Amino acid sequence: MTKIEISKLDKRFSKGNKYIDALSNIDLVINEGEFVCLLGPSGCGKTTLLRILANLEKPSNGYVKIHSQNKKQTPTQSMVFQENGVIPWLTVEENVAFGLKMRHTPEEFTQKQTDYYINKVGLSNFRKLYPKELSGGMKQRVSIARAFANDPEILLMDEPFAALDEQNKFILQEELLTIWQETEKTVLFITHSIDEALLLSDRILLMSAQPGQIVKDIKLNIPRPRSIEQVRSVSEITEIFLEIWEHLQREVKQTRLI
């Protein structure tokens, strides 16, 4: 069932008589429950596409549509950013409950959702702490818990693990996949890491250099759970790795020539 539909979408940023064509002719359908990673060279418009889906930017041409299946008053989307996604003056539990409280959900429900997701990301013993008392990995856990607790139609994640060390990244990737499989949410996830995309995705969308276009849609029919050992050793996966690697090399070289 279609969840996200993007049609003939262009985005041009203008300033005075100068302009940048950030996105060009994006046509895309993402199904309910899919985990889709966006990969492309720096500046190809990945964040812009996410911001358009989050309604923080308007398309210059074309449209995006998020198909809602339920009649509940759930938010359309929640975003998780690379850093600074937590509110410094709120505790862990207040941060996780924030979206629900803004929507004035019944207190009992807010408490239940908050407890559930704090527990899911392993922060039960830290619920009364403030962000300045947390590590980078713990702060990202708070952001993820808040995004899921909010029960949005879709999740938009902009390099959420990019600033973390390898061990933390790996643990959070596993936690994210567990929650995603349980909730069956549709996720659009930006990463610069091919390994990360191969570990997480049902589909990888490869983007061209600016103006960003989707040039390849790679479907991964690889059983889950996947391990980094598999990503490095199974020939079917290493072939995809090389295909993506070569594409990125070409695109990055091209941007240097412009």
Ligand X SMILES: Nc1ncnc2c1ncn2[C@@H]1O[C@H](COP(=O)(O)OP(=O)(O)OP(=O)(O)O)[C@@H](O)[C@H]1O
Binding residues (CB under 6 A) for ligand X: these are: 13, 20, 22, 40, 42-48, 210
Q: Are 149 and 99 in contact (CB under 8 A)?
A: yes
CB of 175 to ligand X, least distance (A): 24
Q: Which two tokens stand for residue 30?
A: 């993402």
- Nearest in space to 13 (alpha carbons), one of 23, 28, 1, 2: 23
CB of 52 to ligand X, least distance (A): 10
Instruction: Give CA separation, 158 vs 116, 128, 162, 191, 230, in Å.
Output: 24, 27, 9, 7, 25
What number of CA atoms fall less than 13 Å from residue 185's CA on the CB side? Answer: 27
CB of 121 to ligand X, least distance (A): 25
Nearer to ligand X, 15 or 72 (CB): 15
- Which of 160-194 are b and which e, b meaning 16 or more Cβ less than 10 Å from the residue's Cβ? bbbebeeebbbbbbebbbebbeeeebbbbbbbebb
CB of 71 to ligand X, least distance (A): 33
Nearer to ligand X, 85 or 131 (CB): 85
Q: Are 40 and 189 in contact (CB under 8 A)?
A: no
Nearer to ligand X, 49 or 134 (CB): 49
CB of 94 to ligand X, least distance (A): 30
- Nearest in space to 119 (alpha carbons), one of 91, 89, 88, 149: 149
Nearer to ligand X, 238 or 255 (CB): 255
CB of 189 to ligand X, least distance (A): 13
Nearer to ligand X, 48 or 114 (CB): 48
- The span from the CA of 256 to the CA of 41, in Å, is 11
Nearer to ligand X, 40 or 160 (CB): 40
